[in-house]
């Protein structure tokens, strides 16, 4: 009976409790404590490109940001609406091709093609995904996984939009700084905008749909209509990433429908922390850098991040951001029981 069981207890830090609500502005220390994580994230993102000097790493940051967009879209759909979308590549492909076709066939400048591709692509994606929205279960995941593979095959087989060669010679951005400081503020706006959105009335309905769709239906709310709006938002984010990517490389091809764009953002979300919206961005940056370090392994990189993804999902780790949050807001100590 003398055996003592030790257990780790977590308690909120005093300063966290003190700075909740209006009391946050009672002291400079409190203000600093509450605003530090946000400030670190915002400044970190804006300063990274200045801190790295080489062109290669700036390009890597841009790619990380593109993946961050897709990861944000996945996280929003999966953890706030309950729609598991395995088709990030569908969004990038549709967005990229719309802006590519507009630019190469009609000579529309880049400042117009990207917004058109974002909105138009989102409309197209939503229409294609609409049939599986009233369904629960695995239909959405299956269908969204199939679309990019099928679309790539269709483009290849019918030889439309340049077929296998793609459409080269699109307009590109004037220089790297424009590329960087177009996408970085967008990421910040999206992250905080989405976080705001999921706490608004609209977001509350979405989260309710995730938790209990029958209850939402019983409240006389049209679930499909709400899901459709959420998918529109998610696919608009993805389509923007695709259109941006098309103009970044000055080329669109069926590689925009590649599985990388579906699986990598999911891995990034799981690494960064699911359902946090900040996590996917941080996860995308970490994972892109990791993947860059493994460049010499070539195709094996896909194996690496699939394994990371499978491992993290199976072990059900919370991800990086929840871990950091725990450390920041709480302290732990061992107690005997």
Partner 1 sequence: MNIFIFGLVNSVILALMASGFALVYGVSRLANFAHGALYILAGFATWLFLNRLGINYIGSIFLSIIIVSIIGGAIYRFLLIRVKGMPASEIIASLAIGIAIMELFRWRGFISEAYMLPPFVAGSVSIAGVVIDWQRLIIIGVGLAMMLSLWLFTHHTKVGLSLRAIAQDKHASMMSGIEPDRTAVIALAMGSALAGVAAVVILPLGNITVETGYMVLIDAIAVCIIGGLGSWAGVLAGAFLLGFSRILTAAFIGPHWQMVVVLLFIILTLILKPSGLLGRQKELEERV
Distance in Å, CB of 174 to partner 1, minimum: 37
List the one residue from 13, 213, 317, 329 that touches partner 1 (CB under 8 A). Answer: 213
134 binds partner 1 (CB under 8 A): yes
| Strand 251-252 versus strand 330-336 pairing type | unpaired
Task: Kindly give the residue spans of alpha helices, DSSP state H, lying in 219-332.
Answer: 223-249, 260-272, 278-293, 300-315, 320-329
Residue 241 CB coordination number (10 Å): 30
220 binds partner 1 (CB under 8 A): no
List the one residue from 24, 182, 302, 324 that touches partner 1 (CB under 8 A). Answer: 302
- Beta-bridge partner residues of 7: 335
Tokens 């009233």, residue located: 134
- Restricted to residues 17-56, the positions that interact with partner 1 (CB under 8 A) are none
Which phi and psi (to 5°) does residue 84 adopt? -85, 110
300 binds partner 1 (CB under 8 A): yes
114 binds partner 1 (CB under 8 A): no
The Cα 327–Cα 320 span in angstroms is: 11
Record the tokens describing residue 204, joined without a space: 């509350």
The Cα 234–Cα 76 span in angstroms is: 7
Q: Which is nearer to partner 1, 153 or 196 (CB)?
A: 153
Q: Which is nearer to partner 1, 23 or 297 (CB)?
A: 297
| Strand 167-168 versus strand 251-252 pairing type | antiparallel
218 binds partner 1 (CB under 8 A): no
326 binds partner 1 (CB under 8 A): no
Binding site for partner 1 (CB under 8 A): 78, 84, 86, 128, 131-132, 134-139, 141-143, 145-147, 149-150, 153-154, 157-158, 213-214, 217, 223-224, 259, 263, 266-267, 270, 297-300, 302-303, 306-307, 309-310, 313-316
């Amino acid at each position: 009976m003398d055996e003592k069981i030790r257990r780790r207890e977590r308690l909120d830090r005093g300063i966290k409790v003190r700075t909740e609500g209006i009391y946050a502005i009672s002291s400079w220390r409190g203000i600093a404590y509450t605003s530090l994580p946000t400030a670190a994230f915002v400044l970190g993102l804006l300063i990274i490109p200045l801190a790295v000097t080489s062109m290669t790493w700036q390009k890597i940051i841009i790619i990380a940001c593109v993946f961050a967009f897709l990861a944000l879209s996945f996280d929003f759909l999966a953890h706030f609406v309950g729609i598991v979308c395995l088709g990030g590549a569908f969004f990038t492909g549709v967005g990229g091709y719309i802006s590519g076709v507009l630019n190469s066939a009609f000579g529309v400048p880049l400042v117009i093609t990207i917004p058109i591709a974002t909105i138009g692509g989102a409309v197209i994606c939503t229409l294609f995904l609409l049939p599986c929205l009233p369904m629960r279960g695995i239909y959405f995941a299956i269908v969204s996984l199939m679309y990019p593979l099928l679309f790539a095959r269709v483009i290849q087989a019918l030889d439309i939009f340049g077929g296998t060669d793609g459409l080269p010679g699109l307009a590109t951005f004037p220089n790297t700084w424009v590329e960087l400081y177009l996408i970085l503020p967008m990421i910040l706006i999206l992250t905080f905008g989405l976080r705001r959105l999921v706490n608004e009335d609209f977001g509350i309905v979405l989260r309710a749909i995730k938790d209990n769709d029958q209850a939402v239906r019983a409240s006389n709310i049209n679930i499909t209509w709400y899901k459709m709006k959420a998918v529109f938002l998610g696919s608009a984010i993805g389509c923007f990433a695709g259109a941006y990517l098309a103009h970044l490389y000055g080329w669109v091809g069926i590689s925009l429908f590649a599985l990388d764009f579906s699986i990598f953002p999911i891995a990034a979300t799981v690494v960064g922390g699911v359902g946090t919206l900040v996590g996917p961005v941080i996860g995308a940056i970490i994972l892109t850098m990791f993947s860059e370090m493994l460049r010499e392994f070539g195709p094996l990189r896909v194996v690496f991040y699939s394994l990371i993804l499978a491992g993290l999902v199976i072990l059900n780790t919370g991800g990086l951001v929840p871990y950091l949050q725990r450390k920041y807001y709480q302290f732990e100590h061992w107690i005997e029981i």
